[in-house]
Amino acid sequence: MSRHNVQVTINGRAYESEVEARLLLSDFLRHELDLTGTHVGCEHGVCGACTVLLDGEPVRACLILAVQVNGRQLTTVEGLATDQDDLHPLQEAFRDAHGLQCGFCTPGILMTMVPFLEDNPEPDEAAIRHAISGNLCRCTGYQHIVDAVKLAAERRRSAD
Amino acid sequence: MKPAPVDYVAAGSLEEALSLLAEHGSDAKPLAGGQSLIPLLNFRLARPTLLVDLNGLGELSYVRDGEGGGLSIGAMTRHSALEGDPRVIAAAPLLSSAAGFIAHPQIRNRGTLGGTLAHADPAAELPVVSVALEARFRIVHAGGERWAAAADFFVGLLTADLQPGELLVEVEVPPMPPASGWAFHELARRTGDYAHAGVAAVLTRENGACSRARLVFLSLGDGPMRARQAEQLLETQGVSEATIDEAAALAARSEIEPSGDIHASEAYKRHLARVLTRRALNEAWRRAGGAA
Ligand SMILES: Cc1cc2nc3c(=O)[nH]c(=O)nc-3n(C[C@H](O)[C@H](O)[C@H](O)COP(=O)(O)OP(=O)(O)OC[C@H]3O[C@@H](n4cnc5c(N)ncnc54)[C@H](O)[C@@H]3O)c2cc1C
Ligand code: FES
Ligand code: FES
């Protein structure tokens, strides 16, 4: 059972740690680095709660080993807001449009939709629904999530 | 659910990966996108003692022009790259289109072409597409290499023609014959779920007739299910509304082996096969320049 040194930049901050080869990235973030914003629902890639950005691309943290992110850049939900009064525009929109209830799915949905909106600044509803298809929400029925993403896109357009 | 203890090496070169795989035999597993292997480790359905990570091998991630208008694609090419690469879209639109049906964007960002072919899931899109396009796979081991035709490679449920120590490194996709049309259709409960049924079709048109037909199903048997009788029917009797109906009925009746599950009965899957085949053949024939 090999152990490995991992150096990784998360939300702009450098971390270094020694991990077992079998440690999942999701557990590394939550249990070793106390970055508990990344949630874990299924551990087989189905629910999307653990979505983080690896070098800017959304991936499942439960389907990557911690050792595999050595030398890479990660963004987790903690990287979106500097503090409670300075939320990311998508987080603002989720709050304003009631895009969450229990909030369990929210980190994964935010980390999926932040890069989506950067690539698709003017998405239609079908594109938004397609983009969140890999994230399960048991509370909202998705409608308010879609509304929140639309709201964020509208605000971004009118700010430009 | 967590993986059992395991050793890990990030291979620095293909040679290193092959020599580790040769040394450890069936105790070692190559780790590509991990989108099938890590769930298996988490469930402890797979218990390798060594993971040989291929993700550092940039030399296995490429799309190149192949012979006569075809493509050579490296095994570590991600599904998302296949979906968006302009060369794949131009030379193998069936491949890029089908890649868009695989799982969700987050999974397509990691999952690889080599991984899905090696995994040989009967519900997977790209094994079926590789059979329909008559792709060939370059397979290497520490002592040499061989080529395998897609048609011979998928030998059974979750079983590909790969021995311990072997790596699939390249997929060669021949060009479609001139005046060919393609289509890919599947039905899943939700976007990104494994499909209840799906089909890839390639039709070639010559003097108004169909000189070559390829019809291959996913999720309707132990692996890619090629419907040779339906293909022959189209090749001998031409493509019309009537022959499309007949070919679809024939394939759905006698060339697939679906088993019912909690979401879809066997009868429903046969019905889907027939409906999807009709749609696919109509669309492929239109793209080939014909009118059914
Ligand atoms: C929620 C979810 C939904 C999914 N839905 C779909 C779907 O709808 N359709 C679909 O097709 N797939 C689906 N997948 C699977 C996904 O496409 C995987 O990416 C793919 O099956 C395996 O590719 P990988 O690169 O991730 O391989 P890995 O998981 O790394 O490896 C899979 C197997 O192949 C072996 N292997 C990998 N690369 C090679 C190689 N080059 N040579 C030899 N052996 C190799 C590994 O040792 C392992 O045994 C889904 C996965 C998840 C988690
Ligand atoms: S915990 Fe990773 S997808 Fe569900
Ligand atoms: S808000 Fe509860 S799971 Fe989505």
Q: Which residues of A45-59 are buried (b: 16+ CB within 10 A; e: fewer)?
A: bbbbbbbbbbeeebb
Spacing, Cα A16 to ligand 2 middle (Å)? 24
Q: What is the pLDDT of residue B1?
A: 80
Q: Quickly state the pLDDT bin for B220 (edges 50, 70, 90).
A: very high
- Tell whether A72 is within 8 A of chain B (Cβ): no
- Fill in the DSSP letter of residue B78: B
Average pLDDT over residues B142-157: 97
- Does the residue B148 lie in any domain? yes
Is B19 in contact with B12 (CB distance < 8 Å)?
Answer: no
Query: In which domain, by residue range, is B33 found?
Result: 7-52
The residue among B114 and B192 whose pLDDT is bigger is: B114
Token pair of B183 as six digits: 């289509």
Q: Which residues of B135-157 are buried (b: 16+ CB within 10 A; e: fewer)?
A: bbbbbbbeeeeeebebeebbeee
- Does the residue A116 lie in any domain? yes
- Tell whether A59 is within 8 A of chain B (Cβ): yes
Which atom of ligand 1 has the smallest separation from the CA of A63?
Answer: 53
pLDDT exceeds 70 at position B292: no
Per-residue pLDDT of A108-153, as tens digits, reads: 999 999 999 999 999 999 999 999 999 999 999 999 999 999 999 9
Cβ within 8 Å, pair A58-B42 = no
- Does the residue B1 lie in any domain? no
Q: How many domains does chain A have?
A: 2
- Does the residue B192 lie in any domain? yes
Question: Rounded distance, CA B129 to CA B251, Å?
Answer: 17
> Hey, which of A137, A146, A147, A149 would you mutate to test ligand 3's pocket, going by the most ligand atoms within 8 Å of its Cβ?
A137
Question: Rounded distance, CA B242 to CA B121, Å?
Answer: 33
Q: What is the pTM of this model?
A: 0.97
- Across all residues in chain B, what is the average pLDDT? 97
Judge if A94 and A119 occupy the same domain: yes
Q: What is the pLDDT of residue B283?
A: 98
Q: What is the ipTM of this complex?
A: 0.96
Mutate which of B40, B61, B104 to test chain A, going by most A C-beta atoms within 10 A?
Answer: B104
- Does the residue B201 lie in any domain? yes
In one letter, which amino acid is A28?
A: F
Cα torsion through B205, B102, B40, B122, rounded to 10: -30
Per-residue pLDDT of A83-110, as tens digits, reads: 888 999 999 999 999 999 999 999 999 9
Cβ within 8 Å, pair A20-B191 = no
Burial of residue A2, with CB atoms counted within 10 A of its CB: 0-12 exposed, 13-18 middle, 19 or more buried:
middle
Average pLDDT over residues B143-148: 97
Which atom of ligand 3 has the smallest separation from the CA of A139?
Answer: 2
Judge if B146 and B214 occupy the same domain: no
**Helices (H), ranges, A4-142:** 25-27, 89-96, 106-119, 125-131
Judge if B13 and B104 occupy the same domain: no
The size of chain A, in residues, is 160
Write the CB contacts of B62 (distance below 8 Å, at least 6 apart in sequence).
B72, B73, B74, B77
Query: In which domain, by residue range, is A139 found?
Result: 89-159
- Tell whether A31 is within 8 A of chain B (Cβ): no
Question: Rounded distance, CA B32 to CA B94, Å?
Answer: 23
Token pair of B256 as six digits: 């697939």
CATH code where residue B160 lies: 3.30.465.10
Q: Quickly state the pLDDT bin for B68 (edges 50, 70, 90).
A: confident
Average pLDDT over residues A46-62: 98
Pocket of ligand 3 from Cβ distances under 6 Å: A 100-105, 137-140
Q: Quickly state the pLDDT bin for B36 (edges 50, 70, 90).
A: very high
In one letter, which amino acid is B86?
A: P
Average pLDDT over residues B257-280: 97
- Tell whether B189 is within 8 A of chain A (Cβ): no
